[in-house]
């Protein structure tokens, strides 16, 4: 069983590495650097604006509990395992413990980064010293280890994980709110872990729940693939086509003629396919959140322009979406008309999304200079991308 997990671990690492190479390309890396710099600048200003209000503690507790939910147990199970590995069920504890250690290092890395980012806000919200706040690191290590271990044993016994994922963290972090030393919170978690481990043996005596374990692993991998799908095509994620009857009024206004054949196809593919529609919604929400909180004459336009660029870049595969359909080649429409229709759709959707983010930014804090600079930069960016970059990329892809 150890060798089986190691083999699957190598295969999973190889697959994730291929996607990471596509995601962490030069353009995206530069974009992330600008985005992190802009958010860091905003975060520093946000901390200075805090006034030690009661709601700050609540938000800090919610963020810490949310951070604990990140990084699930990776079992690397496959749907066929419930049949082919059934004879090895007696040895499944060994396999799961391999998954536990594999998951723990990844999860602890996420916790370390998350706590480091949240630490300044937590210090301000709880009015804690740096020495007190540093106790959060070992507290999160013990907490996350306990959650992963409990998830592993939950496949043998039917018990809820919510008390360990939500209730216990809520009680622990509430100790910070009453101004107790944060070291006592760590002691509280350690005692809870000792109590949980003292009754661990009885949880291994049940029948292994294959379906629950496989469903959890499928959900975990789907979450990762959806993240990759924000930046590149992922074959494992096939978007469904939905009618979305509430958009019929929009489709009815698109001209139905020879010159707009691909305009109709692109709009329907963009708004009725889950892959593209979901991508638009997710990135627009992220952009709107950033736009609402970040207000700076230089940083805001750059970040919003960066988000619009990322959206535009992810929509480029839409151009070739219908190339595998034979009827699109039989119909007398040349590539010039096709490219013109694609650019038209791309310009309009980017202008709509850019306008939404500018409006949200103005709602967050109206600054006429920021609004004008952002609008100007977005218009220039959309023109350059759609009318200069896109034609060159299409031409290059056909060579």
Percent composition of the chain: helix, strand, coil (DSSP 3-state, to 5): 80, 0, 20
Contact between 300 and 374 (Cβ < 8 Å): yes
Token output for 390: 């896109």
Neighbour tally for 303: CB within 10 Å: 26
What does the pLDDT look like over 355-376, one tens digit per residue?
Answer: 998 999 888 888 888 889 889 9
pLDDT at 348: 93
Q: Which helix (H) or strand (E) holds 368?
A: helix 368-384
pLDDT at 167: 82
- Residue 322, classed as helix, strand or coil, is coil
Neighbour tally for 353: CB within 10 Å: 22
Neighbour tally for 73: CB within 10 Å: 23
What does the pLDDT look like over 298-313, one tens digit per residue?
Answer: 778 888 888 888 888 8
Residue matched to tokens 């800090």: 60
Predicted confidence band at 231 (pLDDT cuts at 50, 70, 90)?
low
Residue 179 pLDDT > 60, yes or no?
no
pLDDT at 349: 93
The full set of domain ranges for the chain reads 2-229, 245-398
Cβ neighbours of residue 51 under 8 Å, at least 6 residues apart?
none
Distance CA 273, CA 239 (A): 6
pLDDT at 26: 61
- Residue 87, classed as helix, strand or coil, is helix
Q: How far is CA 126 from CA 132, 171, 186, 374, in A?
A: 10, 15, 16, 36
pLDDT at 235: 66
Distance CA 253, CA 288 (A): 28
- Residue 273, classed as helix, strand or coil, is strand
- Residue 232, classed as helix, strand or coil, is coil
Report the interhelical angle of 26-49 vs 92-126 (nearest 10°): 40
DSSP secondary structure code for residue 239 in this structure: P
Lowest mean pLDDT among 37-41, 81-85, 217-221, 341-345: 37-41
> pTM for this structure?
0.69
Long-range contact pairs involving 240-243 (C-beta distance under 8 Å, separation at least 24): 240/273, 240/274, 241/272, 241/273, 241/274, 242/272, 242/273, 242/274, 242/277, 243/272
Token output for 223: 């979450």
Distance CA 6, CA 13 (A): 10
CA torsion angle 345 347 353 357 (round to 10): 180
How big is the chain, counted in residues? 399
Residue 170 pLDDT > 70, yes or no?
yes
| Torsional sign, CA 79, 82, 88, 90 | positive
pLDDT at 300: 82
Q: How far is CA 252 from CA 107, 248, 261, 264, 268, in A?
A: 49, 6, 14, 10, 11
Contact between 236 and 225 (Cβ < 8 Å): yes
pLDDT at 291: 83
Cβ neighbours of residue 200 under 8 Å, at least 6 residues apart?
149, 153
Distance CA 78, CA 85 (A): 10
Instruction: Give, in degrees to the nearest 5, the angle at Cα 113 between 110 and 118.
Output: 120
Distance CA 261, CA 194 (A): 67
Chain centroid to CA 283: 10
Token output for 76: 């690397």
| HEC-encoded secondary structure of 175-229 | HHHCCCCHHHHHHHHHHHHHHHHHCHHHHHCCCCCHHHHHHHHHHHHHHHHHHHH
Long-range contact pairs involving 46-52 (C-beta distance under 8 Å, separation at least 24): 46/293, 47/120, 47/121, 47/124, 50/121, 50/124, 50/125, 52/124, 52/125, 52/127
């Amino acid at each position: 069983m150890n060798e089986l997990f190691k083999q699957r671990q190598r295969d999973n690492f190889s697959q994730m590495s291929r996607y990471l190479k596509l995601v962490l390309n030069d353009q995206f890396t530069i974009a992330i650097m600008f985005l992190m710099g802009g958010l860091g600048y905003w975060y520093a200003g946000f901390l200075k604006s805090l006034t030690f209000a009661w709601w700050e503690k609540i938000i800090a507790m919610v963020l810490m509990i949310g951070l604990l939910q990140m990084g699930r147990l990776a079992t690397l199970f496959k749907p066929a395992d419930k049949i082919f590995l059934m004879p090895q069920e007696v040895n499944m504890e060994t396999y799961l413990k391999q998954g536990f250690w594999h998951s723990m290092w990844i999860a602890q890395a996420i916790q370390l980064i998350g706590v480091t980012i949240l630490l300044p806000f937590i210090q301000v919200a709880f009015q804690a010293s740096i020495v007190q706040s540093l106790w959060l690191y070992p507290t999160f290590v013990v907490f996350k280890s306990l959650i992963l271990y409990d998830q592993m044993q939950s496949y043998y016994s039917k018990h809820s994980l919510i008390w360990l994922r939500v209730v216990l963290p809520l009680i622990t972090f509430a100790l910070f709110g009453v101004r107790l030393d944060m070291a006592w919170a760590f002691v509280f978690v350690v005692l809870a872990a000792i109590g949980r481990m003292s009754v661990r043996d009885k949880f291994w005596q049940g029948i292994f729940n294959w379906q629950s374990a496989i469903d959890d692993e499928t959900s975990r991998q789907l979450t990762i693939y959806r993240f990759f799908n924000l930046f590149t095509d992922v074959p494992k994620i096939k978007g469904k086509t939905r009618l979305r009857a509430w958009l019929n009024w929009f489709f009815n206004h698109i001209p139905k003629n020879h010159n707009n054949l691909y305009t109709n196809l692109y709009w329907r593919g963009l708004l009725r396919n889950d892959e593209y529609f979901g991508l638009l919604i997710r990135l627009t929400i992220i952009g709107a959140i950033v736009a609402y909180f970040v207000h700076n004459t230089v940083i805001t336009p750059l970040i919003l322009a960066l988000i619009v660029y990322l959206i535009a870049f992810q929509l480029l595969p839409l151009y070739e979406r219908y190339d595998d359909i034979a009827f699109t080649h039989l119909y007398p429409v040349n590539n010039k008309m096709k490219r013109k229709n694609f650019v038209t759709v791309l310009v309009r959707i980017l202008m709509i999304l850019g306008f939404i983010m500018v409006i949200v930014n103005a709602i967050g804090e109206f600054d006429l200079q920021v609004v004008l600079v952002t609008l100007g930069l977005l218009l220039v960016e959309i023109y350059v991308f759609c009318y200069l970059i896109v034609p060159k990329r299409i031409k290059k892809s056909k060579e």
